[in-house]
Structure 1
């Protein structure tokens, strides 16, 4: 597997959120955004001429709250909703998920620790706090979705989600790449989960680069072991011109990008193999 590529102004950058930009947390609302991340994203967004988007399973309200005051281009709910400018639009007709929501809520009432997340176009059931119930959660959702047309079950890290069939991050990235300011650039997508594999496939089909954060099998060409290391790579990609407009966080020594201590590989020209 290759070392991390060198990010340039010719790229379009697509970033997952949980497990990629931030460490995972026991509950979705407990995620913490590292100091320095928001200035880095702001600087890279300007440096790339606006061609930086968050591609996530989360609803847009979550991302905007965590990254405030930034409002970046966004594909939320795995690509069910798009935001290229100020207003988000639905990319699909949301399916009727009332039977799935009812079944998930009933299960959560019987098993405290399960968390039901209702989104505009999907229902997610989180079992991170009680992982031994994975099979029960899977069977419950699978049974409930039998009466709903046009949906599929998506597996993530300690989460199962019923969503519209055919909605995935790869399609979202492909759609963004046909729009300004992304069109004509080389796409780069960074993710950590099996839900990101479709995004990896999409950028590779477009001649771009894919980066997997963490362990596990993947089709991605590059790997970065931790979110902290990924943040270090992003920070190091900022040019002096954009870096000068944002004060470095107090926890990072001048000249040492965040994550350097976490084993960030030296950035080499694309195609240079790890030695």
Structure 2
């Protein structure tokens, strides 16, 4: 359904935000995204207005989130919840399986095609084919084969990427952990995200009366929808007025 009027209320809600294609527009390579003017100021003001109950929940590592949003160091979950920084700055890292055999399996494919990018994270590998969309099936097949005899991983498909991530980590679990801590505890969770990687987050927040907001087209469990990352930025600026 369309995004309802007054979908967010500073007095009762906790706001969780994906990063790529939610706060920033997609780019050909993960390191090439541009942070629009005014976004960092908006996030800083939103966090202050919400009493600190704002967090980033992303598939990116925390160090990348911090780099793009500097000088902010928001509460954040990275690599789908493998690493998490609470509002008081405390860091939590889940145990993860080794990615060495996956790397050995996937490196030959990446070496053959200049348009592919293999992104190494803590306990995860993301195979990006945005610059070579014709290789989608080859990438999915290669990742599936690499995982066939590897325990502890789950295959996750996103926008022009297929990823092996730690099976015990997902965005729903990351949001659940935040919601047990100040300043999030007792608030209604609102999660905005754009991809299949965000569906676990939508499912968790809505199971307890919260709101999931899907960015862009595509099937989703989210109860509300907004058109684009640009529309998200506009909405966030408007709720501050």
Instruction: Please tell me the TM-score bracket, short chain as reference.
Output: over 0.9
Q: 2:3 — aligned with what? A: 3
Asked if the contact 2:3/2:213 (under 8 Å) is kept, the reply is no
Q: 1:88 aligns with which of 91, 95, 103?
A: 91
TM-score, with structure 2 as normaliser = 0.95
Give yes or no for the alignment of 1:175 onto 2:203.
Answer: no
TM-score, with structure 1 as normaliser = 0.84
RMSD across aligned positions (CA): 1.1
Q: 1:225 — aligned with what? A: 227
Q: 1:120 — aligned with what? A: 122
Q: 1:201 — aligned with what? A: 203
Q: What is the correspondence of 1:131-142 to structure 2 with a 5 Å cutoff?
A: 131-142=133-144
- Number of equivalent positions: 238
Give yes or no for the alignment of 1:144 onto 2:151.
Answer: no
Q: 1:59 aligns with which of 58, 61, 64?
A: 61
Asked if the contact 1:14/1:53 (under 8 Å) is kept, the reply is yes
Structure 1, unaligned stretches of length 5 or more? 240-275
Q: 1:130 — aligned with what? A: 132
Q: Distance in 1 between matches of 2:101 and 2:59?
A: 21
Please identify, of 161-170 and 60-69, the stretch whose mean Cα deviation from structure 2 is larger.
161-170
Please identify, of 110-119 and 138-147, the stretch whose mean Cα deviation from structure 2 is larger.
138-147
Asked if the contact 1:99/1:145 (under 8 Å) is kept, the reply is no
Q: Distance in 1 between matches of 2:169 and 2:222?
A: 20
Please identify, of 151-160 and 5-14, the stretch whose mean Cα deviation from structure 2 is larger.
5-14
- What is the CA distance between 1:147 and its match in structure 2? 2.7
Q: What is the correspondence of 1:211-250 to structure 2 with a 5 Å cutoff?
A: 211-239=213-241
Q: 2:155 — aligned with what? A: 153
Runs of 4+ aligned residues of structure 1 deviating over 4 Å after TM superposition are: none
Secondary structure of the 1:147 match is coil
Q: Distance in 1 between matches of 2:158 and 2:91?
A: 24
Asked if the contact 1:115/1:125 (under 8 Å) is kept, the reply is yes
Asked if the contact 2:2/2:226 (under 8 Å) is kept, the reply is no
Q: Distance in 1 between matches of 2:172 and 2:235?
A: 23
Asked if the contact 1:151/1:163 (under 8 Å) is kept, the reply is yes
Q: 1:256 — aligned with what? A: none
CA deviation string 1:123-143 (max 9, x = no partner): 110001001111111111111
Q: 1:68 — aligned with what? A: 70
Asked if the contact 1:97/1:148 (under 8 Å) is kept, the reply is no
Q: Distance in 1 between matches of 2:35 and 2:107?
A: 29
Q: Distance in 1 between matches of 2:163 and 2:90?
A: 25
Larger Rg: 1
Structure 2, unaligned stretches of length 5 or more? none
